[in-house]
Structure 1
Amino acid sequence: MSLTTIITVNFHEAEVTIELLKSVAKSYSPSQVEIIIVDNGADKNMELIFQPYFENIKYIQSKENLGFAGGNNLGIKQAKGDYIFLLNNDTEIPAGCIETMIAELEANDKIGLLSPLLLYYDQKDLVQYAGFTPMNYLVARNSYIGQFEKNIGQYDNQTYQTGYCHGAAVMCRKAALNNAGLMDETYFLYYEELDWCEKFMRIGKQIWFTGKTQVYHKESVSVGKASGLKIYFNTRNRMLFIRKNTGWLNTFFFSIYFTLIACPKAVLKYLLAGQANLAKWTLKGLWWNYTHSKNSKELGYEIKS
């Protein structure tokens, strides 16, 4: 098996990351896999904490929190593998996962990014992801395929083209990645994998799903289901994604819809629920798009409680 680089971003969750390392070590040797751990926002070097759990680990300490895209990009730049496998630190993989995904990539040169079946770790008979529907660019909405379905093997032998990969587990050839480019760090959190898929599609590659292997995802370990962080970046980046990946006419109509319908509806919902803080971050996420150029390399973020 060709060398595969697994890249995972840790953010103050050493025990969660260690469980991922253990799951890899059960089935793969250091000659088959190198693991790059990007330790985001780390005040102290944690390399010795992780080293006992897998022999071929490259540890990168980043005192600055670079976000999901920035953390993965830092790892990608140092990856030696022919295949790059981005895995959330809150995932675990079964035996055969990596070689199955490599086989699917090798069988079809058109595949740029490939994600496996994602199952909820605490409910392994429940599907989280079996692909995405195409994006409706006018409203920036698409849907999970299979989410919350009972897993009865309906995807086990299926491999098909899909709308987008899932950032929790996605593999590509390093050669294709070099052509498509790194993730856009402007996003910081959320929508960056969708934007990355668009980059691969622009170089003529396709986005695929395979149910021939799976990854178990401990959903919502990193970010709560309702938080200012999540609301802000989801709002901000939904509009940013459209601004970056569609023409001016689509952006114009989307902006009207998003500014006058979608965001006011969300704000009203939060206010009625007594969640004024979430309403505030919705408006901040929207306003960001009217004060920042989509082409600026200096785009930053600031979020305070």
Structure 2
Amino acid sequence: MKLSTVILAKTSSAELFEMTLNAVHSLLDADTNVEHEIILVESNPNYSIDGFEYPNSVKVIVPNQKFNFHKFLNFGIQQASGDFIALCNNDLIFNKNWFAEILKVAQSQPHIDSFSPSDDFSTTQVGFQIGYKVMTHIKGWCLVLKKELINRIGPLDDTFDFYFADNDYALTLLQYNIDHALVFASKVEHLAKKSTRKSEGSKEYLAHYTIPNYLYNCDYAYVLEDELSLSGFLKYQNKWGSPNLIYKKKKLALLLMKYKLGFLNRYFLRIKF
């Protein structure tokens, strides 16, 4: 079994270089019975000039363009030759047999094509849970998918350069009637999982956007605190609809999948009611 792991990195300091190396080494040490292909998509075109050198076993791709989360993952996916593809941040520590645990579920449940490891090291849960909730089931910092899944859904939508990329992935899975599983025994530590952003200075950028009134509700006010977050949210809304509409669509999509009618999701999830 071959695993192609696409890692996004920006090697601009010794600290970031070491973090990426730790991710690579922990990945190789975690599953020694797996054939590994590691593809590093590097955002710093001068990383080697700056004195950083990755092992020869790591294939480094340096796109000659501005960073875009989904687009850069697509570059890595295009080079991947494994049976499974892992899409990963560089701030990860892979625990022993993390992929072997996902493989167990994949082999016993062949209808599941997309997976996330768990970063909850305190849970006593076993097995897996089908779900599409972002940050609960969908871990945007580490997704594992069967290679043939890309043939079904096509390239990741590079409209999403960072924010709400995982939300878009979750709805895309529902649209194509694809099961996603959180695998409890697969453990990966996400070093920056509790990062926060605070608004600083003026919010003059707000004048450049048409902002729905409901975003001023306290439940969504966080989106307005950062221009990149706001931009990502509006792209997500433009593609899939308002939060209330998305909630209803997801509820219906899951119901259709429950009754083996998930093929209908492809037709109605993108409709703007």
Report the AA paired with residue 7 of structure 2: T
Q: 2:85 aligns to what?
A: 84
- SS for the counterpart of 2:7 is strand
1:135-284 alignment, distance < 5 Å: 151=122, 153-155=123-125, 157-164=126-133, 165-219=138-192, 225-226=197-198, 231-246=226-241, 250=245
Report the AA paired with residue 8 of structure 1: I
Q: CA RMSD in A?
A: 2.9
Contact 1:37–1:75 (8 Å) recurs in 2? yes
Structure 2 portions without partners, runs of 5+: 206-224, 247-273
- SS for the counterpart of 2:71 is helix
Identity of aligned residues (%): 17
> Are positions 1:72 and 2:73 aligned together?
yes
2:41 to 29, 38, 42: 38
Q: How big is each residue's C-alpha offset from its partner over 1:176-202, in whole Å with a ceiling of 9 and x where there is no partner? A: 122112221111112112212222222
Q: 2:29 aligns to what?
A: 26
Q: 1:274 aligns to what?
A: none
Q: 1:134 aligns to what?
A: none
Query: Using the alignment, how far apart are the partners of 1:204 and 1:77 within structure 2?
Result: 23
- SS for the counterpart of 1:194 is helix
Query: Using the alignment, how far apart are the partners of 1:243 and 1:213 within structure 2?
Result: 35
The CA deviation at 1:97 is: 0.7
The CA deviation at 1:227 is: 5.7
Contact 2:130–2:180 (8 Å) recurs in 1? yes
Structure 1 portions without partners, runs of 5+: 120-124, 126-150, 252-305
The CA deviation at 1:17 is: 0.5
Q: 1:118 aligns to what?
A: 119
Query: Using the alignment, how far apart are the partners of 1:49 and 1:30 within structure 2?
Result: 26
Report the AA paired with residue 192 of structure 1: A
The CA deviation at 1:224 is: 5.7
Question: Cα gap change, 1:31/1:111 in structure 2, threshold over 3 Å: closer, same or farther?
Answer: closer
Instruction: Tell me the TM-score normalised to structure 1 length.
Output: 0.63
- SS for the counterpart of 2:62 is strand
Report the AA paired with residue 32 of structure 1: E
- SS for the counterpart of 2:54 is helix
**Structure 1 stretches (4+) deviating beyond 6 angstroms?**
none
1:15 to 11, 14, 18: 18
